[in-house]
Amino acid sequence: MASSAFISAAKVVVGLAVSGNGSPSGAHADRLSVPGGFALISLSGISLASSPTLRFPQQRSRQQQQRRRSAPARAAAVETLETATAEGLVEKSINTIRFLAIDAVEKANSGHPGLPMGCAPMGHILYDEVMKYNPKNPYFFNRDRFVLSAGHGCMLQYALLHLAGYDSVKTEDIKQFRQWGSTTPGHPENFETPGVEVTTGPLGQGIANAVGLALAERHLAARFNKPDSEIVDHYTYVILGDGCQMEGISQEASSIAGHWGLGKLIAFYDDNHISIDGDTEIAFTEDVSARFDALGWHTIWVKNGNTGYDEIRAAIKEAKSVKDKPTLIKVTTTIGYGSPNKANSYSVHGSALGGKEVEATRENLGWPYEPFHVPEDVQSHWSRHVPDGAAIEAEWNAKFAEYEKKYKEDAAELKAIISGELPAGWENALPKYTPESPADATRNLSQQNLNALANVLPGLLGGSADLASSNMTLLKMFGDFQKGTPEERNVRFGVREHGMGAICNGIALHSPGLLPYCATFFVFTDYMRAAMRISALCEAGVIYVMTHDSIGLGEDGPTHQPIEHLISFRAMPNILMLRPADGNETAGAYKVAVLNRKRPSVLALSRQKLPQLAGSSIEGVEKGGYIVSDNSSGNKPDLILMGTGSELEIAVKAADELRKEGKTVRVVSLVCWELFDEQSDEYKESVFPAAVTARISIEAGSTLGWAKYVGSEGKAIGIDRFGASAPAGRIYKEFGITAENIIATAKSL
């Protein structure tokens, strides 16, 4: 494209400052195009319009750099107006971000250009002027965290990481946007792209993750900061859109964030009035800011998010000054800003602009460059972040060395949280049980484990969605994490399962040594499944403490009784579904859960008392499946009975009866299918010899999936209907989850 061609037509689409919650209907028709792209530049009195590369001589950019090199200077940038010329460079940088997004989506012919085009200004200000990070160490502990909750706009984040100098997003990676094996997948994924903090895309998850990140900061700051050393001190920024706002999970997380008063959480609500189905008028007309006021947030409205850079800066300054409340900055933007024919419409949300419209947008925004080009002055301007980032980290490291000298124990604990290294011998804290230990519900045994572990694992913290006294999740030696007591470790999530799960993902991804657990009734995993799936995908080792795990809960009835839940998690990739049968197995489940820091664990626990079984063991649980008892020899019993959790006891009873009748019977605990499937073929054969086809499984849940272990000739005893409201014993009997049924089935084989 000739650089001279675009000048006369330079236009931008102005932001629609829609008033209040008012109707932007007719906005499409009213779209205005006015000259403006270079308005700020002309104020500087320097005529640069015909040669963009000349506009901001490197020299000026270097002066700028020097002014900004140290962290305090950068913070000051938020507080002072840039010169008009600097604003010109800002605009150029913003357009660089826009075009990197446009070009990447165009090349992939897939993706979402609209958000990056609209949010480029806030993205630029955050990464270039506000945030503290080290591009060469994306895991620098004290960095500010950024979450793009509206994850479909990921090209915004990739462009920013690229400009900031992260090695994970080179030009070549941007060219590979959404391609096999690239670091630039279709939505932000922390496990693919260092610099991305969490995994977003499913709407509303990111804001809840951000609440978790901010909680972690608040908690660690309260535990470790000293009057003379703020060793933990960072902000959490998040951009969320209309879609995130409509999701219930965002309400849950925002409500509890307001309750906790997480003052260092700053959320930008990209108020662009467009979602996939069109104008938000068709389904979303609530007053979002008023809602956040009601939730106890501080709210600010930036009316011109497209070009009101100072408005954005002032809002961030104001947000930082409010220390006892999280802040929502509603930023009214135009989706697809700059595209003359598609801006402010759903058509720019989730499709490539198309060659013609890309051209028109280049012309409109005065962009003469080749695709994927970062102008030199922009590159030069951003290049300071590598040395700046290194300096920031070095400064913190020096600070930590000082801290370590003064506060040795705290420093060691914080170090463990930062590194994720488990204290030597931690597993010795796990309680042990013998068959003589009293019968107990695994939910109670779970509490014994949690309390034992809290003594040795400095990063263990968590709680329940308003069922602490049923889930048995309270850590007795700690108080509640609350606004006034953020150093405590019992988290009260309220009845907000979905938010809870996503908050825990944020906590887990804040620091490798944070071990969040969270709890509800097992059936209510249905409320939080989307967050749990993301735990699995994003490798957040959250421990899900799920009690009341079957019809064994009795009277609450079918709405509360899980049936299909075990198999539904067994089928989910990268998550461990554990259903311990007694004390040793519960301890084993915790051992596995703590060790698997990149694979979340779901512990299904009983409401009802269970005996301590002979033969159960922690080591057995680590193998996923193992022989609990056997009266045969030569690896060829007459019958193999297998079960999990509360039904293992029933299998043991049936085996005892059958043995009395002279049969050789093996009882196998299949406490974690995923771990068992990972064992060697030899081990598997030692547990389930191919030659033994008489096999019966028993589990108070769906029989689906058990065919894998019982084989074509075996039988699965389970429940393939909904539960019922009655005392548990009665339901077990009516549903045939009994030793008698096992024995009868065994005889039929």
Within residues 654-713, the interface with its own copies by CB under 8 A covers 702, 704-705, 707-708, 711-712
Among 87, 252, 271, 388, binds its own copies (CB under 8 A): 252
Tell me if 645 is assigned to a ligand binding site: no
Q: Is there a contact between 107 and 143 (Cβ–Cβ < 8 Å)?
A: no
Q: Give the x-and-dash track for 22-61 against its own copies (CB under 8 A).
A: ----------------------------------------
The neighbour count for residue 2, using CB atoms within 10 Å, is: 6
Instruction: Name residues contacting its own copies, limited to 441-500 (CB under 8 A).
Output: 464, 466-470, 480, 482, 492-499
Instruction: Name residues contacting its own copies, limited to 201-220 (CB under 8 A).
Output: 201-204
Size of the site for its own copies (CB under 8 A): 109
Instruction: Name residues contacting its own copies, limited to 156-185 (CB under 8 A).
Output: 178-182, 185
Catalytic residue among 91, 247, 413, 497: 497
Is the Cα torsion angle 46, 51, 55, 59 positive or negative in sign?
negative
Q: Is there a contact between 449 and 430 (Cβ–Cβ < 8 Å)?
A: yes
Tell me if 272 is assigned to a ligand binding site: yes
Of the pair 319, 532, the CB lying nearest its own copies is at 532
3-state secondary structure of 604: strand
The conformation of residue 425, written as its DSSP 8-state character, comes to T
Kindly state whether residue 324 participates in binding its own copies, applying the rule CB under 8 A.
no
Of the pair 68, 533, the CB lying nearest its own copies is at 533
Q: Is there a contact between 338 and 361 (Cβ–Cβ < 8 Å)?
A: yes
Instruction: Name residues contacting its own copies, limited to 104-123 (CB under 8 A).
Output: 108, 110-111
Tell me if 349 is assigned to a ligand binding site: yes
Of the pair 510, 533, the CB lying nearest its own copies is at 533
Residue 25 C-beta: closest distance to its own copies, Å:
12
CA distances from 634 to 331, 627, 660, 683, 686 (A): 72, 14, 20, 15, 10
Alpha carbons 223 and 220: distance in angstroms, whole number: 5
Active site residue 497: yes
Instruction: Name residues contacting its own copies, limited to 723-742 (CB under 8 A).
Output: 724-727, 730-731, 734
Instruction: Name residues contacting its own copies, limited to 258-287 (CB under 8 A).
Output: 258-259, 275-277, 282-287
Binding region for its own copies (CB under 8 A) out of 359-367, 375-383, 548-556, 622-630: 548-556
Of the pair 301, 369, the CB lying nearest its own copies is at 301
CA distances from 711 to 134, 271, 392, 640, 719 (A): 55, 56, 60, 11, 18
Q: Which residues contact 224 (CB under 8 A, 6 or more apart)?
A: 231, 232, 407, 410, 413, 414
Q: Is there a contact between 378 and 92 (Cβ–Cβ < 8 Å)?
A: yes
Tell me if 259 is assigned to a ligand binding site: no
Residue located via tokens 């059936």 = 523
Residue 85 C-beta: closest distance to its own copies, Å:
40
Q: Is there a contact between 714 and 696 (Cβ–Cβ < 8 Å)?
A: yes
Alpha carbons 420 and 24: distance in angstroms, whole number: 49
Among 43, 54, 73, 290, binds its own copies (CB under 8 A): 290
Alpha carbons 619 and 605: distance in angstroms, whole number: 19
Instruction: Name residues contacting its own copies, limited to 549-568 (CB under 8 A).
Output: 554-560, 563-564, 567-568
Binding region for its own copies (CB under 8 A) out of 138-146, 383-391, 601-609, 717-725: 717-725
Alpha carbons 365 and 105: distance in angstroms, whole number: 18
CA distances from 101 to 11, 34, 339, 373 (A): 19, 23, 13, 11
Residue 221 C-beta: closest distance to its own copies, Å:
21
Amino acid at 573: P
Instruction: Name residues contacting its own copies, limited to 494-533 (CB under 8 A).
Output: 494-499, 523-524, 526-527, 529-530, 533
Binding-site annotation, residues for substrate: 112, 349, 443, 470, 548, 556, 560, 607
- Among all residues, which ones are annotated catalytic? 497
Binding-site annotation, residues for thiamine diphosphate: 152, 201-203, 243, 272, 349, 524
